[in-house]
Amino acid sequence: MAISAAMVKDLRERTGAGMMECKKALVDANGDIEAAIEAMRKSGQAKAAKKSGRTAAEGVVVIKIADDGKRGVMVEVNSETDFVAKDANFQSFAEGAAETALSSDAQDAEALSAAAFAGDSAQTVESARAALVAKIGENVQVRRLVRFDAAAGTLCSYRHGLKIGVVVDLVGGDETLGRDLAMHIAASNPICVSAEQVPEETLSKEREIFKAQALESGKPEAIMDKIVEGRVRKYLEEVTLLGQAFVKDPDQSVEKLLKQAGAEVKRFMRVEVGEGIEKKTENFADEVMAQVRGS
């Protein structure tokens, strides 16, 4: 069967693949576009597997909250480069993955990968991801899914650019307060709500550090414990939401702000793209030098 330019164009628009790849797929499928698409998807999945080992530390965080404000999700989807993270195809996939998370009962990224992709029940999130990898030529990973269920409160959120997302479970107050708190958390990055929630292991390590610093300074032994405990209190103010100075009004703490509003933060989560991923840095001068020495 003769393969027309119109057929190639149609296949390119539907798959995003290159012209020569489309023409070859159509020839192999004897002009059957659907068969060609299926074959290219299979090929794309193979390519995706090859790319899965490459570091993906860029990307986006997408937040979805149900209309009643009681259910919400944050999904982190990673790419290899910031350029791809801004691509419309990548962002469309990330939005779809988050919509899928909100409408499903998936509790983590692994479970989400097997769910039917939002807007296209013929695909799973994983098959949609593999197709995207084949199309854009970069490793793409759905890295994290954080789920929120607010029994007594209301979920409020804030996204800073594309890379930092915050969801707050707020009891009392209003939408403006909730957004302000989410913005504060995005900027100040507290580790938990209150001092009681700071892990004892973390506090023990900080006490050891503060004691070593006090000993190094030559302070008298008699006041050593007071110095250490004073620094611990200061540390707790810096790392807990309630202890921090409110970013929009540093003269008052978040705890005082909440008391004035008769509100309480039950829980929050802050997700930043790529945190915890070791990014590969390339030094091309060293690479060339290594090649010269090896030759």
pLDDT digits over 113-131, tens only?
Answer: 999 999 777 889 999 999 9
Average confidence (pLDDT) over 128-149: 91
Confidence of residue 295 (pLDDT cuts 50, 70, 90): very low
Q: Are 138 and 81 in contact (CB under 8 A)?
A: yes
Q: Which residues contact 136 (CB under 8 A, 6 or more apart)?
A: 16, 84, 87, 89, 90
pLDDT at 284: 44
The full set of domains in the chain, from first to last, is 5-51 (1.10.8.10), 55-149 (3.30.479.20), 195-257 (1.10.286.20)
Question: 0.85 cut: is pTM over it?
Answer: no
Q: Give the Cα-Cα-Cα angle 62, 103, 181 (nearest 5 degrees).
A: 40
CA distance 68 to 175: 13
pLDDT at 207: 82
Q: Are 99 and 75 in contact (CB under 8 A)?
A: no
pLDDT at 37: 77
CA distance 43 to 216: 63
Q: Are 182 and 88 in contact (CB under 8 A)?
A: no
